[in-house]
Chains A and B, each alone.
Chain A
Amino acid sequence: MVKRDYLGEFELMVMLAVALLGDEAYGVPVSRELEKHGKRDVSVSSVYATLDRLESKGLIASRLGEATAERGGRAKRYFQVTKEGLRAIRQTREVLTTLWRRLPELEGERA
């Protein structure tokens, strides 16, 4: 049986935010994007915890950027969705779409 990586809700949102931001995807912009579209408070550390987990699964890759005085001399960590990550996003979307398509039928049966 083919191994599939389905993503959780927050994981999927983080992956999509990273993909949307492109070269500017690091902690703060990702959490802002999630706050903007998800309409809820998101802590930067929860974004990093999710990104770390996704990176350990090989769905996200990271690289260190520039360190500035404004950041207390600490470097930014930029993230990028890998090929495997894109495949996982597509698989999750397929599953969700299939389930959503069946929902009107279920609601019709109830009514």
Chain B
Amino acid sequence: MRRIGPPLITTWILEHLVPGNRNDALYGDLQEEFRNGRTSSWYRRQVLAAFVIGCFVEMRSRSLALVFAAVWTMSTRAWCFFALWSATRCAELIVPWPYSPILGRVISVVLSLWAALTLFGIIEYFVRHNLRVGKFWRGFWIGPVAFILLTVVVKVLSRPLGLGAVSLGEFSFFSYFPSLLGATWGFMSKPTQQQIQS
């Protein structure tokens, strides 16, 4: 027996998870085609393609944030040792051992995330004239919160997966980079039509 409507979960993914501002026409087209006799597997393939293409287009439109986060993360690995050492020494004055190293790490990461966001905000404002101030400030707490959550997830998952101690490279890749990307992603607006044409 043929189903009356398209697959529910796939439709939900199309409505809520496919990136892009103008997916209404695509949604309508897929519904129309399904009702005109296309199969569920065709519908699923179309939604999967829409998801992949949507992600690609979104990344392309925010390639500056992607490149900036990657370059900053790589440079962070270089100065992280010094920042970590100095932040831990400062933390020792505030909180007694054994908590001061943890506090030192958090302080050094938060400061480096904020420095990155400030620099990225300046680039956005002066180079592209495209800064959203409200979202810019939001990035200042999204970055640190995302970093703490991701670090906990990486730590928890590293044991059952048998990864052992998380190296600095893995820490950069799994926690720092996505946190910085998430923080810069939100406040970076897409290029306007005028900017694309120029």
Q: Could you tell me which A residues sit within 8 Å of B by CB distance?
A: 26-28, 43-46, 48-49, 52, 56-58, 64, 67-68, 70-77
4 tightest CB-CB pairs across the interface, nearest first? A74-B28, A71-B28, A45-B50, A77-B25
B180 CB, nearest partner CB in chain A, Å: 27
Give a binary string over B25-67; 1 marks a CB under 8 Å from any A CB, 0 the rest. Answer: 1111111110100000000011001100110010000000000
Q: State whether B197 touches A44 (Cβ < 8 A).
A: no
B49 CB, nearest partner CB in chain A, Å: 4
Residues of chain B at interface, number, CB under 8 A: 23
- Chain B residues with Cβ under 8 A from A68's Cβ? 32
B22 at the A/B interface (Cβ < 8 Å)?
yes
Complexed CA–CA distance, A67 and B25 (Å): 9
Contact of A28 with B49 at beta-carbon distance under 8 Å, contacts A52-B22, A56-B196, A75-B24 already known: no
Complexed CA–CA distance, A77 and B30 (Å): 13
Q: State whether B29 touches A26 (Cβ < 8 A).
A: yes
B6 CB, nearest partner CB in chain A, Å: 9
Q: State whether A72 touches B28 (Cβ < 8 A).
A: yes
Q: State whether B35 touches A44 (Cβ < 8 A).
A: no
Q: Could you tell me which B residues sit within 8 Å of A by CB distance?
A: 18, 22, 24-33, 35, 45-46, 49-50, 53-54, 57, 193, 196-197
Q: Which among A45, A46, A52, A56 has the greatest number of chain B C-beta atoms within 10 A? A: A45
* Interface majority SS (helix, strand, loop, mixed), chain B: helix
Contact of A74 with B45 at beta-carbon distance under 8 Å, contacts A46-B53, A57-B196, A57-B197 already known: no
Q: State whether A43 touches B28 (Cβ < 8 A).
A: no
Q: State whether B53 touches A49 (Cβ < 8 A).
A: yes
Complexed CA–CA distance, A57 and B28 (Å): 25
Contact of A27 with B22 at beta-carbon distance under 8 Å, contacts A43-B53, A57-B196 already known: no
- Chain B residues with Cβ under 8 A from A70's Cβ? 31-32, 35
Complexed CA–CA distance, A57 and B197 (Å): 6
Complexed CA–CA distance, A76 and B196 (Å): 25
Q: State whether B46 touches A58 (Cβ < 8 A).
A: no
Q: State whether A43 touches B46 (Cβ < 8 A).
A: yes
- Chain A residues with Cβ under 8 A from B31's Cβ? 70-72, 74
Closest to A65 in B: B25
Q: State whether B25 touches A76 (Cβ < 8 A).
A: yes
